[in-house]
């Protein structure tokens, strides 16, 4: 979909020069949405370390790199970091993804504190599965991307620090303070 006045910029958030170039070209940005994602399927104990590094390079370091590059122009603006219900729990087959999203969640909280003085809203968006290419092989309920976007934008407009885009995210978030045995079924 073309949006009048919008310009598409090449960007690889794992490449510092690419991020710097995008920040220079879009120095008037008032809303930064960090939605880059990768899901390698690597687990932590036996997974390929290079794949685990890619997960962290994208979700944590890439997001931080984007925030650092765009923060100077975001005074009075907003940042939306697209996170995951996996920020709060582990799933066999997605250990690297979950660890990277947990790190990005805490990054979101830390950046929020650091950018408060310049009045930049930092919002974390959590969702379970959405009907996207990344979740094409997942056989379960999926949120419509348009619904997730609407929830995110409504949250930003309402100055919310966190948006739970679906029931699954709300359920998982509510379980965080509970004993892990109530959430994980090992037996």
The CA angle 60-79-131, to the nearest 5 degrees, is 70
* Distance, CA of 80 to CA of 125 (rounded, Å): 7
* Distance, CA of 48 to CA of 50 (rounded, Å): 5
- Chain Cα centroid distance, residue 125: 7
The CA angle 8-14-17, to the nearest 5 degrees, is 70
Question: What are the residue numbers of the active site?
Answer: 97
Positive or negative, the CA dihedral 158, 107, 116, 11 is negative
């Amino acid at each position: 979909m073309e949006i009048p006045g919008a310009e598409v910029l090449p960007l690889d958030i794992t490449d510092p020069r690419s991020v710097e170039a995008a920040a220079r070209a879009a120095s008037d940005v008032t809303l930064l949405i960090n939605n880059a994602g990768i899901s390698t399927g690597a687990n932590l104990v036996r997974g390929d370390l290079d794949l685990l590094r890619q997960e962290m390079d994208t979700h944590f370091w890439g997001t931080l790199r984007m925030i650092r590059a765009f923060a100077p122009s975001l005074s009075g603006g907003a940042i939306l970091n697209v996170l995951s219900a996996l920020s709060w729990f582990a799933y066999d087959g997605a250990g690297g993804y979950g660890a990277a999203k947990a790190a990005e969640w805490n990054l979101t909280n830390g950046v929020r504190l650091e950018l408060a003085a310049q009045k930049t809203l930092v919002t974390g968006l959590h969702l379970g599965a959405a009907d996207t290419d990344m979740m094409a092989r997942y056989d379960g309920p999926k949120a419509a991307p348009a619904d997730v976007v609407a929830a995110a934008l409504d949250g930003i407009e309402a100055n919310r620090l966190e948006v739970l885009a679906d029931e699954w995210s709300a359920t998982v978030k509510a379980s965080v303070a509970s004993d892990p045995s109530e959430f994980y079924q090992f037996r």
